[in-house]
Amino acid sequence: MKLFGTSGIRGKFKEKLTASLSLKVGKAIATHLKGEGEVIVGYDPRTSSQVIENALSAGLMEGGCDVIKIGMVPTPVLGYATSKLQAKAGVMITASHNPPEYNGIKVWNHDGTAYSPAQEREIEKIIQEKDYITADWDNLGNSEHMNMTKMYMEDLLEHVKVEPGLKVVFDCGCGAASHITPVILRELGCEVLSLNCQPDGFFPGRDPEPTPENLKNLMDIVKVSKADLGIAHDGDADRMVAVDEKGRFADFDKLLTLIAKEKGGKIITTVDASISLDECLKEVGGEVIRTKVGDVHVAEALIKEGGTFGGEPSGTWLHPEFSLSPDGIFSALKLVEIVSKEGPLSRLLDEIPSYYNIRDKIPCPDTKKDNVMEKVKQQLPKQFTEKIQIDNIDGVRISLEDGSWVLIRPSGTEPYIRVRIEAKKEKTAKKLHNMSRSFLEKII
């Protein structure tokens, strides 16, 4: 039984994710925790979230765990609360950037890090074997409600220092941070224009994924209103993306590099991050360490290596001085802080080297992914005649002598095989993309 992907359990409500499954997951988590301690539960505004929350909480309490419900919150608040309250675990109900018909369950450790693949396999095993513990009638878990948002916001304000006067357009995408990020920015002295800042599980303003295609309104409004920058979240605000004052969507890798340069030291990132990060970190005496894709792997490496900052090019970043949970809200504030002191954003981004990037995804049923990736591992290196370096940390990454590289890896959240290309010449990038796509389509 395979329930967990790169970012918890994820799927369409009623098809993969049901109240029945949520009850089993709650019982399995309680069993894993030996029926002891408190579990924090939060959810994003999706229409199915409270159904899942109620079923999952019932399973936790049946297994003897106490449940602290913190209501509709962004993922970073859930991670923060789990660590702050020293709970045994936390559970976030969200499908993050997926469409509204999707939902998900992601589990967190007491220190605010996501459950590891090994821990997730233990949960799956308990569900598969139906090996649940059940508390007696006089030892069932209790449930209580608690508001953690105010404490989270107050702590955030202690960690950033923004020069007042910036004009920021903020698009929360009708997600869980709608009542948080704009408020904090105003507290910091920014003039904020709000866009899609009312929680709504149908996501009527735009799709939850903050892509250039979905953020055209934000890009236009930043330019027309002469704002200093625009910022957007996904549905649960574990991610942050930005638009510069010229209305240009900020390159993911450049944003990651901008924050990394500010922090210096050991920077943890994933196999799909640009080589521009390595080049810029050398200038400030920093070091880049790569992991598998997924915030859990970034968090583990931050702890192991004593990293100062960790992030994925998707806009999912971790700031260990505050929390080991991916935090799009904290990321937004740090970007605003940098722009307020060193801006404009367009200049800061243009100073970072730019290479040709292609991201693609090719449909592939989840049931075929393992077989396809085994063939990729065996056959992809044979497609190259020049000297190559092969990296199998996550999928297969082929690095060429001229600095260009190809990464093919299975999506952990959707039925796709993902392709990532980077090259210093556009012609090379297109050639590598055509080769990779043709190669994959034949295998699939």
What is the C-alpha to C-alpha distance for residues 232 and 209, in angstroms, rounded to an integer?
A: 9
- Give me the phi and psi of 283, to 5 degrees please: -65, -30
- How many CA atoms are closer than 13 Å to the CA of 394, on its beta-carbon side? 20
Active-site position among 7, 83, 96, 274: 96
Q: Is 238 annotated as a binding residue?
A: yes
Residue 234 to residue 240: CA distance in whole angstroms: 7
Question: Cis peptide leading into 344, omega within 30 of 0?
Answer: yes
234 is in an annotated binding site: yes
Question: Is 77 within 8 Å of 330 (Cβ atoms)?
Answer: no
- How far out from the chain centre does Cα 279 lie? 24
The reply, when asked if residue 236 is annotated as ligand binding, is yes
The b-or-e profile of 212-246 (16+ CB within 10 A means b, else e) is eebbeebbebbbeeebbbbbbbbbbbbbbbbbbbe
Kindly write down the DSSP assignment for every residue of 401-427, as one continuous string.
Answer: TTS-EEEEEE-SSSSEEEEEEEESSHH
Compute CA distances 263 → 16, 343, 395, whole Å. 41, 17, 29
Distance between CA atoms of residues 27 and 128, nearest Å? 12
The answer to whether residue 83 is catalytic is: no
Catalytic residue annotation:
96
Name the binding residues for Mg(2+): 96, 234, 236, 238
Name the binding residues: 96, 234, 236, 238
